[in-house]
């Protein structure tokens, strides 16, 4: 009888230790798959020729959010401290290919760090402060997604233009709704400490119906050996002649400032923000300054059905040889979306985006190019309509 009691006690003790051990650490598989049908007019044909135009209709992945899968984990170290990690890989569900470069298995995020009651410190490939603090009050960084990005997505509000390699990042704890943080990304290049480094800082506030954020990010050039803070070139997109002249230089400096807020009244949320992107380089006698002003709103008609709209005005000033002349380009972008939740994890959507470009850039008319779409318009106008399904797991 005693032996049986002792055996039961030992088995119970072992089981309790095993339960406690498993409760102290966890690993979660998560992801998102987004695909749909997309129509775009005035597409350059062949791509980049700028001489012929045609419409394009087909299937695309990542219409609202880029598809991804990942692993995140945490281990309780005691005393309120945890070890954490995240590994996240992007992919194109339309053809199964990976996103983020052929050598980037976890091209979206890959970091490890420590979390405590004061905040979190992480090391690896991570988002910058503009994405973290200004993105949550924008349409592209929340419900609108990929095609609602500002022209060129130069301010990177949705985090899809670039992530920071070799970065050390701090995010504070939540102090009654107030959070702040910053990051520094090393160039990892001998003799060129500042050649391709990047750094950012931001502050956010979220309490009740009010949400606000402000941030700054600076990246210094691109590194041809692919070892810097931002690999594969600087985060620019060539969709106007001035951008073409500055997009591929190795010493390009890009600085992004921004601030914005949103407010909810019942089922209605409306917001606005301003961002400025400055591009300049030592090897090019010129610079580009973009100012974006966005207003957005979303209304939940029912718990399952919501509609949203956003308007962005972008003013780009391109300067060459010390004179600006008529190098002023204006962009008007309108977006409308409706989303219906089939469940907590699956929804269907339909949206349309219109972009209008006007002005002159080095004597040429600018072309429109909706963010997230790979081919520029053949004119100053472009219309995109998409509908699809998104599933989270």
pLDDT, one tens digit per residue, over 281-290 is 766 667 788 9
Q: Which residue has the higher pLDDT, 183 or 368?
A: 183
**pLDDT tier for residue 150 given thresholds of 50, 70 and 90:** very high
Beta-sheet pairing, 98-99 with 109-116: unpaired
Q: Smallest Cα–Cα separation from 219: which of 168, 138, 278?
A: 278
> Can you give the pLDDT at residue 100?
63
Q: Could you list the beta-strand ranges (E) of 12-80.
A: 25-44, 53-61, 68-78
* Percent of the chain predicted with pLDDT > 70: 79
Alpha-carbon span 260 to 258, nearest angstrom: 7
> Which has the higher per-residue pLDDT, 370 or 223?
370
Of the candidate ranges 87-96, 197-206, 355-364, the one whose mean pLDDT is the lowest: 355-364
* 352 neighbors 385 (Cβ within 8 angstroms): yes
Checking if the pLDDT of 227 tops 60, the result is no
Residues 182-198 have a mean pLDDT of: 85
Mean pLDDT within 37-42 = 94
- Give the integer Cα–Cα distance in Å for 245 and 135: 28
What average pLDDT does the chain have?
A: 85
The answer to whether 260 touches 134, Cβ cutoff 8 Å, is: yes
pLDDT tens digits for 63-94? Answer: 999 999 999 999 999 999 999 999 999 999 99
Question: 280 falls in which pLDDT band (50, 70, 90)?
Answer: confident
Q: Which of 142, 153, 161 is nearest to 310 (CA)?
A: 142
> Are 231 and 103 in contact, with CB atoms under 8 Å apart?
no
Query: Would the pLDDT of 14 be above 60?
Result: no
Q: Is the pLDDT score of 240 beyond 90?
A: no
Contacts of residues 233-237 at CB distance under 8 Å and 24 or more positions apart, as own/partner, are 235/154, 235/156, 235/161, 235/162, 236/152, 236/154, 236/279, 237/152, 237/153, 237/154, 237/161, 237/369
* pLDDT > 50? residue 3: no
More confident residue, 246 or 235: 246
Average pLDDT for residues 263-275, to the nearest whole number? 98
Residues 66, 90 contacting (CB under 8 angstroms): yes
**Residue 354: pLDDT above 50?**
yes
- What spatial distance separates the first Cα and last Cα of the chain, rounded to whole Å? 50
| pLDDT grade for 224, boundaries at 50, 70 and 90 | very low
Domains in the chain, CATH or no CATH each: 26-392 (2.40.160.10)
Closest by CA to 294, choosing from 305, 306, 308, is 308
Backbone angles phi and psi of 269, in degrees to 5 = -125, 130
Dist. CA 393–CA 67, nearest whole Å: 11
Tens of pLDDT, residue by residue over 100-146, are: 654 678 989 999 999 999 999 999 999 999 999 999 999 999 999 99
3-state helix, strand, coil in the chain (%, to 5): 10, 55, 35
Per-residue pLDDT at 317: 86
> What are the φ/ψ torsions at residue 151 (nearest 5 degrees)?
-45, 120
Q: Looking at 11-15, 347-351, 368-372, which range is the least confident one?
A: 11-15
Cα separation of 79 and 51, whole Å? Answer: 65
pLDDT for residue 371: 83
Distance of CA 45 to the CA centre of its chain: 28
The CA distance from 124 to 119, in Å, is 17
Question: Which of 167, 276, 170, 271 has the alpha carbon at shortest distance from 213?
Answer: 271
What CA–CA distance (Å, rounded) separates 235 from 162? 6
**What are the tens digits of pLDDT across the range 285-328?**
677 889 999 999 999 999 999 999 999 999 988 776 655 555 78
- CA–CA dist 108, 158 (Å, integer): 12
Does 23 score more than 70 pLDDT? Answer: no
Going by the DSSP 8-state scheme, the letter that residue 247 receives in this structure is: H
Q: Choose between 371 and 28: higher pLDDT.
A: 28
What is the per-residue DSSP string for 176-232? TTEEEEEEEE----TT-TTTT-EEEEEEEEEETTEEEEEEEEEEE---TTS-SSS-S
Q: How far is CA 262 from CA 64, 83, 143, 154, in A?
A: 20, 33, 13, 22
pLDDT of residue 321: 60
How does 12-26 read in b/e, with b if 16+ C-beta sit within 10 Å? eeeeeeeeeeeeeee
Task: Compute the average pLDDT of residues 254-268.
Answer: 96
pLDDT higher than 90, residue 268: yes
Report the distance separating Cα 164 and Cα 259, nearest Å: 21
In this prediction, what percent of the chain has a pLDDT beyond 90? 61
Beta strands in 102-197 (DSSP E): 109-116, 119-126, 164-172, 178-185
DSSP β-ladder status, 178-185 and 68-78: unpaired
| pLDDT for 5 beyond 50 | no
Q: Is the pLDDT of residue 345 over 90?
A: yes
């Amino acid at each position: 009888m005693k032996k049986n009691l002792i055996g039961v006690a030992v088995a119970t003790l072992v089981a309790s230790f095993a339960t406690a051990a498993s409760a102290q650490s966890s690993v979660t598989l998560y992801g998102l798959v987004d695909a749909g049908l997309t129509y775009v007019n005035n597409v350059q044909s062949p791509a980049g020729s700028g001489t012929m135009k045609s419409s394009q209709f087909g299937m695309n992945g990542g219409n609202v959010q880029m598809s991804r899968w990942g692993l995140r984990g945490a281990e309780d170290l005691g005393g309120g401290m945890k070890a954490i990690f995240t590994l996240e890989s992007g992919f194109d569900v339309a053809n199964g290919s990976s996103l983020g470069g052929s050598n980037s298995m976890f091209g979206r995020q890959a970091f490890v760090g420590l979390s405590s009651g004061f905040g979190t410190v992480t090391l690896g490939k991570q988002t910058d402060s503009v994405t973290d603090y200004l993105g949550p009050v924008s349409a592209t960084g929340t419900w609108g997604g990929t095609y609602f990005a500002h022209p060129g997505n130069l301010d990177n509000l949705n985090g899809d233009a670039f992530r920071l390699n070799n970065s050390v990042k701090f995010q504070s704890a939540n102090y009654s709704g107030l959070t702040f943080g910053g990051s520094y990304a090393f160039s990892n290049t001998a003799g060129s400490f500042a050649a391709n480094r990047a750094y950012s800082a931001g502050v956010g506030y979220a309490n009740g119906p009010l949400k606000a954020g402000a941030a700054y990010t600076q990246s210094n050039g691109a590194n041809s050996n692919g070892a810097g803070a931002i690999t594969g070139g600087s985060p620019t997109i060539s969709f106007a002649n001035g951008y073409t002249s500055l997009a591929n230089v190795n010493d390009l400096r890009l600085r992004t400032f921004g601030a914005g807020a949103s407010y909810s009244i019942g089922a209605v949320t409306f917001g606005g923000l301003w961002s400025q992107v400055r591009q300049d380089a030592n090897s090019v006698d010129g610079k580009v300054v973009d100012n974006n002003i966005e207003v957005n709103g979303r209304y939940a008609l029912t718990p399952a059905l919501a509609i949203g709209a956003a308007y962005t005005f972008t003013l780009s000033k391109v300067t060459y040889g010390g004179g600006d002349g008529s190098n002023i380009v204006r962009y008007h972008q309108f977006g409308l979306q409706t989303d219906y939740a089939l469940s907590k994890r699956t929804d269907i959507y339909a949206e349309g985006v219109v972009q209008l470009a006007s002005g002159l850039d080095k004597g040429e008319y600018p072309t429109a190019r909706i963010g997230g779409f790979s081919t520029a318009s053949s004119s100053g106008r472009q219309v995109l309509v998409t509908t699809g399904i998104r599933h989270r797991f």
